[in-house]
Amino acid sequence: MLKTNRREFLKTSGCLVIGFSIGNISSGQNSFIPQELPQSIRRYPDINAWIEVLANGKVRVFTGKAELGQGIRTAIAQVAAEELELSMENVEVVLADTLRTPNEGYTVGSGSIEQSAMAVRYASAAAKMKLLELASDKLKVPVDELVTTNGKVYTKNGRNPITFSEILDGKQISGQVKEPVKLKAKSEYRLSGKPVPREDIGWMVRAHQNYLHDLRFPGMVHARVVRPPVYGAKLKTFDAGYVKKKVPGVLKTVNDGNFLAVIATDEYEAMRAQKVLGQSATWTEAAKVPATEKDLKEYILKLPVETDRVQEKGKITSEEFTHTATYFKPYIMHGSTGPSCSVAIWHNEKLHIWSHSQGIYPLREAIAQMLQMPADKIEITGVPGSGCYGHNGADDVAAEAAIIAMAYPGKHVRLQWSREEEHGWEPYGSAMVVKVGATLDATGKILYWKYDLWSDSHSSRPGGRAENLLPARYIKKMFTSSSKGYIGGATRNSEPYYSIPNQQVNANFFRGPLRVSALRSLGAYGNIFALESFMDELADNAKKDPFDFRLMHLTDQRAKDVVQKLGEMVSNVKPGDGEGLGIAFSRYKNSASYCTVAALVHVDTTAKTLRLKKMWSAIDAGEVINTDGLKNQTEGGMIQAASWTLKEHVKFDGTNISSTDWGTYPILRFSETPEVEVEIIPRQNEEVMGAGEAAQGPAGAAIVNAIFRACGKRIRDLPVKLFQD
Amino acid sequence: MKKAISIHVNGTTHTVNVDPSTPLLYVLRNQLELNGPKYGCGLQQCGACMVLIDGKAQPSCMYPVSAVKEQKITTLEGLGKEGKLHPVQEAFVSEQAAQCGYCLNGMVMSAVSLLSDNPHPDDDEIREGLHRNLCRCGTHSRIIKAVKRASL
């Protein structure tokens, strides 16, 4: 399958390649390969599933992950260039594509470096071993007397240079990545662990075609979908003749059950047709979104729930705690700057889709199910979109483009969501409520801890299930959602990382009124907001310094180090009048990066203003591939979480979502943005750990803790409304 | 009804056959095949679609193309001279001032416009100058540094 596809690509790529010999991609695990190899390598052990040597001396690397703005393209190129002793210019990276790359599932959970970069590291090292062995045969020189640099292999005295292409004689590297793989010593790294600049930022400033939104094909037509007035409304009537008459350039109205779309030659015509067709359509009344936004916390606590015991340690003898608090976070949206977009074509019994989805392989399965066709008739090429921060409209728009393209064969169909569609129809990050109680012992240490959370699902990604694609709920062969989604997301970071002898954590899962799925860090943002706010409240109760209070409950030295590092970073900060400094700690997923955040706020009770002045973060992500990439992600994570914390909540009004644009769903603007500073704790000899979501939780908590220190007001309901209550 | 309309973009006059009410953004992207200006909201709320109209940064998503026939329009593609990047573009690369980069076009355009009015803005003036532009990745601090660098 992959063999044919890769061949097809090479014919059209315009790049001469020196032949190839792609083996079968094994989808199952290979039992004789030891566990130590990265999981992606165990699934795709063939070297040439990952590495291809080009005739021009460059090396092409295949990753199953998508570029979301996290800089994975650069990190992947760094590890490959490092192991193969190439310069960055001599490595090109192919991102997730069902035609070409391994299936690495979803680009989520801060897993791109942990999974894909490590797979590429092993594959590159194995490729180098193979190249040296082949060169050794050719040159009749033992492997250990050979060295490689910049795509050539030499003898140690610098004689007999032979290029990778010459070594391979027009073939590709065959064989599998098998233990023992001799990895380059970390002490010899030239590129890994360095702030290597991202090449794609150069493309962006030059306005090169970099985004899915920029794809243009000859004869491409433009589509728009007519949305129902509310979730679940049913289409009664529409007037295709009227729109055809009223808007020139309309090519076709596409209707399948309650799904209604229009295709036009020109994009602006498609937009006008969407409006006119929408005005002609009538819909049945459907269940309205309840008018609960104002008292959402109370509403959630009354919903029916399924309860899971997440953690039980020691004994909770009584429910009488010396300190209790209830925290609330509302629905928050991904709010990508560029609304979701997709291009699809149905041609010669094949459907080709271009998508900025985080998981093109699972999306393919879900679309195959929706269209009731074999998955091998569908190819999806991943192309970067606007940053998504989780499961936004990317998968939905691709599924819709697929339906429309099937109805209009032979043409590339481009479907672009509007701002209103993105705001109103994306799956939001769930609202959450947390009730927590604790009792301190005589020394101020936490003796008892009880934590109860309420949440909807934090992931309803397609994952091969059609019902999670928005249009699948509207077409004639309707798919309805029965699964409660990935409930593990709600409990992420609900267990304290602190040493507490008696503790209990319970999760109550409800079905809320709004469509929900994965938003950056899933439940960790809500849980760490609650947990680290409560730690601050307890520290205050125990009359302890917030740093000391955390340190006295931590046992993991790396956790302590990240707290102490933050302490050093802010040691010279002396909050002035009306200012407060707040801190928070978390270890993402309790197993990935350690991250602390400090926030400095200024509260002016007379002028009724709150200003977030600066945020600091100390982060330990284990071995770091690109230090600037990690800083960029952590800075961005703090600022984004500041926006969530200070400003954001999805509004709904008893009829429908009323946050339909940036006026009704404001996010942080430049005038409100804090200065940020990040320090990395170097741990180059440790394992790599996911970091892209590490700052979200502690950033939120640090801000509310700072507000408390500034003015004595404890914020327990988000977003912060210091002067509006 | 489509009409032939001439517009001046990046130093060249282009004649396009479009409905005169078509917003400039769609003509730039679809007829002129320029990638710089991006669709973000269509409501002049986010700045992703910004271009320079007679040297001033303006969102292009709502102005009908027929309203800008006389003006000189510059897009991201037209900022550099003789194959060299504009100093603001250079500064964005030097500061690595992007994550997803979707908003970058508008940021650069706003910054170019700001610096032509005020060549040495302080931090608050930079924040004010970029107030119309939204970034969702939280790259604001780097963007401010890039504008600062370009002003030196």
What band does A318 get if pLDDT is binned at 50, 70 and 90? confident
Q: Chain B partners of A209 at a C-beta cutoff of 8 Å?
A: 35
> What is the CATH number that goes with domain B87-151?
1.10.150.120
Helix axis angle, B104-117 relative to B140-151, nearest 10°? 40
Partnered with residue A429 across adjacent β-strands are A332
Q: How close B121 comes to chain A (CA, Å)?
A: 14
Tell me the shortest Cα–Cα distance from B45 to chain A, in angstroms: 6
Residue type, A561: D
**Res. A595: pLDDT tops 70:** yes
Contact check, Cβ <8 Å, B102/A667: no
- For A647, the enclosing helix (H) or strand (E) is helix A627-647
Are residues A564 and A677 both part of a single domain?
yes
Residues 52-71 of B with CB under 8 A from A: none
Whether A672 maps to a domain, the answer reads yes
- Asked if A479 and A257 touch (Cβ cutoff 8 Å), the reply is no
User: How confident is the model at residue A158, as a pLDDT?
Assistant: 84
Query: In 3-state terms, what secondary structure has residue A154?
Result: strand
Find residue A162's DSSP bridge partners: A153
Say if residue A448 is in the same domain as residue A416: no
Helix, strand, coil percentages in chain B from 3-state DSSP, rounded to 5:
35, 20, 45
Indicate if A514 and A421 belong to the same structural domain.
no
| Distant-in-sequence, close-in-space partners of A275: CB < 8 Å, separation ≥ 6 | none
- Nearest by CB to B130, which of A639, A663, A670? A670
Output the pLDDT for position A724: 73
Q: Do B38 and A69 touch (CB under 8 A)?
A: no
Measure CB to CB from residue A268 to each of B19, B34, B142 and give the nearest one. B19
Residues 639-658 on A with a CB inside 8 Å of B are: 639-640, 642-643
CA distances to A385, A532, B40, B62, B78 from B25, rounded to whole Å, are: 18, 46, 11, 8, 15
Q: Do A419 and A438 have their domain in common?
A: no
Chain A CB contacts of B16 below 8 Å: none
**CA atoms A73, A75, A80, A86: torsion sign:** positive
Is A199 in the B-facing interface, judged by CB distances under 8 Å? no
For residue A688, the distance in angstroms to the closest alpha carbon of chain B comes to 21
Percent of chain A with pLDDT over 90: 87
Q: Which amino acid is at A60?
A: R
SS3 A253: strand
**Residue A697 falls inside a structural domain:** yes
Query: Where does a domain end: A177, A205, A233?
Result: A205
Specify the higher pLDDT residue, B46 or A488: B46
Q: Which residue of B has its CA nearest to A637?
A: B138
Nearest CB to B96 within list A335, A418, A632:
A632
Confidence of residue A659 (pLDDT cuts 50, 70, 90): very high
In a domain? residue A212:
no
pLDDT of A38-91, one tens digit each? 999 999 999 999 999 999 889 999 999 999 999 999 999 999 999 999 999 999
CB A289 within 8 A of CB A230: yes
User: Do residues A558 and A552 touch, judged by C-beta distance below 8 A?
Assistant: no
CA gap A193, A363 in Å, rounded? 33
CATH 3.10.20.30 residue spans of chain B: 3-76
Report the C-alpha gap between A487 and A197 in whole angstroms. 38
Q: What pLDDT does A502 receive?
A: 97
- Which range of residues forms the domain containing residue A639? 432-711
Q: Which of A392-406, A454-468, A669-683 has the lowest mean pLDDT?
A: A454-468
Q: Do A337 and B35 touch (CB under 8 A)?
A: no
Chain A hits for B144, Cβ within 8 Å: 670, 673
In percent, how much of chain B has pLDDT > 90? 97
Say which residues have a Cβ less than 8 Å from residue A580's Cβ, sequence separation at least 6. Answer: A600, A601, A603, A705, A706, A707, A708, A709, A710, A711
Q: What tens digit of pLDDT does each residue of A523-538 get?
A: 999 999 999 999 999 9
Query: Mean pLDDT over all residues of chain A?
Result: 92
Residue A11: in which H helix or E strand, if any? Answer: helix A2-13
What's the CA gap between A29 and A39, in Å, rounded? 9
CA separation for the pair A495, A506 (Å, rounded) = 9
Residues A256 and A382 in one domain: yes
pLDDT at A5: 42
User: d(Cα A528, Cα A698) in Å, to the nearest integer?
Assistant: 6
Secondary structure (3-state) at A473: helix
A386 to B102: CB separation less than 8 angstroms, yes or no: yes
Chain B interface mutation, best of A272, A337, A597, A648, highest count of B Cβ atoms under 10 Å: A337
Residue A345 inside a domain? The answer is yes
CB A425 within 8 A of CB A361: no
Sequence-distant (≥ 6) Cβ neighbours of residue A107 within 8 angstroms: A65, A66, A68, A72, A96, A358, A359
Q: Among residues A519, A531, A537, which one has the least CA distance to residue A456? A: A519
Count of the separate structural domains present in chain A: 3
| Structural domain contains residue A537 | yes
CA A593 to chain centre: 15
Query: Which three-class secondary structure string do you get for A305-344?
Result: CEEEEEEEECCCCCCCCCEEEEEEECCECCCCCCCCEEEE
For the segment A107-111, the average pLDDT, to the nearest whole number, is 85
Q: What is the pLDDT of residue A346?
A: 98
Instruction: Return the CATH number at A37.
Output: 3.30.365.10
Give A703's pLDDT tier (boundaries 50, 70, 90). Answer: very high
Domain-embedded: residue A512: yes
Nearest to B108 among A70, A205, A661 (CB): A205
Residues of A in contact with B33 (CB under 8 A): 216
Average pLDDT of the segment spanning A358-377: 97
B18 to A266: CB separation less than 8 angstroms, yes or no: yes
pLDDT in tens, A225-277: 999 998 889 999 999 999 999 999 999 999 999 999 999 999 999 999 999 99
Query: Are A515 and A367 found together in one domain?
Result: no
B3-76 maps to CATH 1.10.1660.10: no
Collapse the DSSP code of A92 into the 3-class scheme (helix H, G, I; strand E, B; otherwise coil) and give the result. Answer: strand
* Least Cα separation, residue B147 to chain A (angstroms): 13
Taking alpha carbons only, the member of A217, A134, A136, A121 closest to residue A175 is A134
Are B89 and A643 within 8 A, CB to CB? no
Residues A196, A110 share a domain = yes
- Residue-level pLDDT at A26: 38
Tokens standing for residue B79 = 């900022």
Substitution target in B35, B95, B112 with the highest count of A β-carbons within 10 Å is B35
pLDDT confidence of residue A484: 64
**A609 shares its domain with A657:** yes
Instruction: Answer yes or no: is A458 within a domain.
Output: yes
The nearest CA of chain A is from the CA of B70 a distance in Å of 22
Q: Does A410 share its domain with A471?
A: no
Return residue ranges of chain B for CATH 1.10.150.120: 87-151
Distance CA A83, CA A591 (A): 27
> B48 and A338 in contact by Cβ < 8 A?
yes
Cβ A201–B139 below 8 Å, yes or no? no
Chain B residues within an 8 Å CB radius of A669: 131, 134
A10 touching B (Cβ < 8 Å) = no
Model confidence at A483, in pLDDT bands (50, 70, 90)?
Answer: low
For residue A677, what is the nearest residue in chain B, using CA coordinates? Answer: B141
Interface of A with B in 393-432 (CB under 8 A): 416, 418-419
- CB–CB contacts below 8 A, A to B: 171
Of A201, A338, A633, the CB nearest to B102: A338
Interface check for A245 against chain B (CB to CB < 8 A): the answer is: no
Contact indicator for B127, B67 with CB cutoff of 8 Å: no
Beta strands in A366-463 (DSSP E): 378-382, 413-416, 432-440, 446-455
Question: Residue A662 and residue B26: Cβ atoms within 8 Å?
Answer: no
Mean pLDDT check: name the lowest of A279-293, A447-461, B19-33. A279-293
In this structure, what token pair is assigned to residue A337? 């700057």
Residues A582, A490 within the same domain:
yes
Range B81-94 average pLDDT: 95
Say which amino acid occupies A276: V
Give A482's pLDDT tier (boundaries 50, 70, 90): low
Interface contact B17, partner A, CB < 8 A: no
CB contact under 8 A, B140 and A269: no
Residue A610 within any structural domain of the chain: yes
**pLDDT reported for residue A19:** 32
Please report which confidence band the pLDDT of residue A160 belongs to, taking 50, 70 and 90 as the band edges: confident
Contact A211 B104 (CB under 8 A): no
Taking phi over 0 as left and psi of -120 to 50 as alpha, with beta for the rest, A173 belongs to beta
Strands A446-455 and A502-509 come out as: parallel
In a shared domain, residues A246 and A349: yes
Q: Are residues A106 and A135 in the same domain?
A: yes
Please, what is the Cα angle at A633 between A610 and A665, to 5 degrees?
Answer: 45
